[in-house]
Amino acid sequence: MSECGFFMECIFLKIPSVDMVTIECLNEADLFHELYQVTGPLSEGGFGTIYSGFRRDDNFPIAIKQVKSHNTRRRAVWLNGNMTSVPSEVGLLIEVGAFFADNLVTPEIVDWYEVSDQIIIVLERPDPCMDLVDYVNSMDEVMTEEEAKLIFRQLVDAALHIRACNVFHRDIKPENILIETGHPKPRARFIDFGCGIRCDPDEILTEAQGTDIYLPPEYYMKYRYMPDSTTVWQLGLVLYGMLNLRRAFASVETICSSYEPPISAELTLSKKQIQNPSPNTILRFYLDCSYIETHRHRIVSVALCSLCNGLT
């Protein structure tokens, strides 16, 4: 199915009503302010603005994403016995399990509103937390491979879950990875599904979405890309940034040039065995292969090498 086919797509989900907040489409700003207190801006970009705040009745910390509603794709979602038209990002969050607290993919979606020409999405805001950029910069020393592996394993698990839901994030980058620091070990989850779509993992896409420097080389060379290979590519760039404190590529032009990432001698045989792998195989190889138990964080570097040299 083409991307256009998802402009008004029907999915059917029954959301449990016990201990959960039912999503409702509300047009009254007064109700939002009655339930929630906005405390200040967290970030701003082309997508809109994200604010911090809390739920008034229990001081539950929240993040409030506010975006313009024009040109926003919509989806018809079956919620608690009613067919409801929702913004695409809301539908994607529901489908990957964001209605459930402590899901492994993304912070919980608490509520959403449509007020005038604005869409307001209320999300859980773990406290304390920060994005991966700030987390890496806050460390006294360069992140060790063990520390990177701990975070990266969580990201791969989450990516596989998203894939199983036939959802494609399309904009995986350090700024869109939330790190919770209030646990004994850091907890990593994806945020900002604003560029995401629902599609088959092997579907060919042609519309550029996301961040230019994180788009895969096949888009710039062939003006097309696929969900699986793009996800592997973007995860590889995230891993590179964690371990090297800089982006893998300085510009779009350098993305298409030949690139050979450093790969340990222990991976030489593995690389030969997967010269033309499917990206999903790479992700599962990362999780399951005992041969590289101590080098699991490097497997996406193999994918990077393969993708950069046109082997996908």
pLDDT, tens digit, for every residue of 241-271? 998 888 888 888 888 775 555 444 444 434 4
Q: What value does the mean pLDDT take over residues 226-233?
A: 90
Annotated catalytic residue 102: no
pTM greater than the 0.75 cutoff:
yes
C-alpha torsion angle, residues 176, 182, 186, 191 (rounded to 10): -20
**Residue 201 contacts residue 163 (beta carbons within 8 Å):** yes
Catalytic position from the list 171, 212, 228, 288: 171
pLDDT confidence of residue 122: 96
Average pLDDT over residues 47-76: 90
Q: Are 184 and 212 in contact (CB under 8 A)?
A: no
171 secondary structure, DSSP code: -
pLDDT average, residue stretch 61-68: 94
- Kindly state the DSSP code that residue 175 receives in the 8-state scheme: G
The model's pLDDT over 164-182, given as tens digits with 9 standing for 90+, comes to 999 999 999 999 999 999 9
Question: What is the set of domains in the chain, with CATH numbers?
Answer: 3-124 (3.30.200.20), 129-308 (1.10.510.10)
Q: What is the pLDDT of residues 65-106, one digit of tens each?
A: 999 888 688 888 777 788 888 999 999 999 999 989 889 999
Averaged confidence pLDDT in the chain? 78
The model's pLDDT over 187-214, given as tens digits with 9 standing for 90+, comes to: 999 999 999 999 998 899 999 999 999 9
